[in-house]
Amino acid sequence: MDCYLSYTKPRFPTLSAGVLCRPITFGLRVGRRPLIVAASTSSTSKCEFGGLNAPLEPRTPAGKFLSGVLLDDRDKFQGTARKELERLAADRDEAAARLQLSLGSDEACLHRRIAEFRNHECQEAVEDIMYMLIFYKFSDMGVNLVPRLSKCVYNGRVEIWPSKDWELESIHSVEVLEMVREHLTAIVGCKANANVTDSWATTSVQRLRLCKMYAASVLYGNFLKTVSLRYKLEQGLDLSSCHFGMSVHGHHPISEMFSTGSKYIACGQVGSPRPAPLGQVSYSLGSKPESLRFYMMGFDPETIQMCAKPKTREAVNLVERHICALFGDEETGLLENDDVITTSFASLKRFLLEAVAFGSFLWDAENSVNAVYTLDEN
C-alpha cells in the first residue's frame, strides 16, 4: 500500500516551536484512523510502508495470501485462515504417513527428508498465519502496529499519534488493567493518572533497553491472559479440597519480574529466567482466593515461569521474529545499533500497551491454531 507524505506540523506537545516535522501516515483500507509516526525532516531517509504496515512481513505463500484476504475481503478472513490450517495439517500428516509406510525400504531416507522439509515448511506457514490472526485482532479494534523502528526513527526521535490507549486498555478486565498499569509504572515510571504535561514530557531510552522492555511486556501480557483464564476456570470448578486461604510475607509484586527487560526472550535468543522470590505462602482449606491478584500470590517461581512463556515453539519463534523485525536492522534483523531514542512518556506508554496486547492476542492465536493444527510444545 502506498503511503503519502504531507509537510504539515503535527500537534505534538513535546515538539518545540519552529521545528518542521514530517508526519508519515499509513493505515488499512478498512476505514480506520491512520497511525502517524512523526520525525524530524533534517534526515533524507524515507519512511515507506506497504501491505499490512506491520514490522514483520509474511514470508510464505499462505501468509501472503491471508494478508491479501485481510485487506480485500475481511469478512472471509477467519474462515480462510482455518482452511489454510486444515490444508497445512493434511500436508504434514500425509508426508508423515508416507514416511511410516517407507520404513525399512530403500526409500525411507528420501521420505524422511521430505517429511522434515514439509514439517519445516508448514511451521513457517503456521507462524505467518498466527501473525495474521494477531494483526486481525489489532485491526479489528482500529489499532495499527508500530512499524519497523529503523524506518521511523529520525535524528533519534519518534512519536506515535493517535495513542489509542483506550482501545489497547479495553481488551483487559478491570482487575487485569490495574496490574497492566502497575507494570507500566514499574517499567517506565509512567503513572496511569499522569496529567498531560507529564505524559508528553520527553525521555531518552537506548534501543536495546526498549527492546527488552517490549519483550518483557509481551510476556507479561501472555502471563496475565494465562493466569486470568486459569483463575476463572478454578473459580468455576468445585475444588473444595484445593481452595486456598493465603497469607503472604515479604511478597514482591509480580510486575517487577517483568520490569527489568526480558530474560525469557531477547532479540533472537530464548533463555530461562531466574524468578524473584515470592515470599512464604501458607495454604488452608475451605476458602477461595478473593481476587485474581490474591490468587497470583500463591504461585511459586516455577508456576510463574510456566505461565509466562509461550506454550509452543511456533509462538516463541513468532515473538522472536516480531521483536527482531521491530527493533533490528532491516536487512539482517539483528540489533546492531544501540542508539538512544528520544520520545515522550505518552508514546512510550502506547508502545508498551501494544506489547501487552500482543502477548494477550498471541495466547488467543496459539490456542485457535492449535485446535486445528497441532503445534510443537515449547
Q: Which of 251, 296, 298 is nearest to 277 (CA)?
A: 251
Give the model's confidence band at 304: pLDDT under 50 very low, under 70 low, under 90 confident, else very high. Answer: confident
* Residue reference for cell 478491570: 174
Give the count of beta carbons closer than 10 Å to the beta carbon of residue 163.
19
Which stretches within 141-242 are classed as H helix?
A: 165-169, 174-188, 196-199, 207-236
Each residue of 231-240: pLDDT tens digit?
Answer: 888 887 755 4
Each residue of 6-57: pLDDT tens digit?
Answer: 333 334 333 333 332 333 333 333 344 455 554 433 333 334 334 467 899 9
One DSSP character per residue, 20-60 reads -EEEEEE--TTTPPPEEEEEETTS-------TT--SS---S
Q: What pLDDT, on a 0 to 100 scale, did the predictor assign at position 361?
A: 97
Q: What pLDDT, on a 0 to 100 scale, did the predictor assign at position 270?
A: 36
Task: Please give the mean pLDDT across all residues of the chain.
Answer: 76
Q: What pLDDT, on a 0 to 100 scale, did the predictor assign at position 276?
A: 37
Compute the distance between CA of residue 129 and CA of residue 73 in angstroms, rounded to an integer: 16
Q: Are 99 and 115 in contact (CB under 8 A)?
A: yes
Each residue of 97-126: pLDDT tens digit?
Answer: 999 999 988 889 999 999 999 999 999 999
Each residue of 159-180: pLDDT tens digit?
Answer: 887 788 999 999 999 999 999 9
Identify the residue with better confidence: 135 or 45.
135
Compute the distance between CA of residue 81 and CA of residue 63 in angstroms, rounded to an integer: 9
Q: What pLDDT, on a 0 to 100 scale, did the predictor assign at position 11?
A: 40
Q: Report whether pLDDT(306) > 90.
A: no
Instruction: Give residue 40's region: left, alpha or beta (phi > 0; psi -120 to 50).
Output: beta
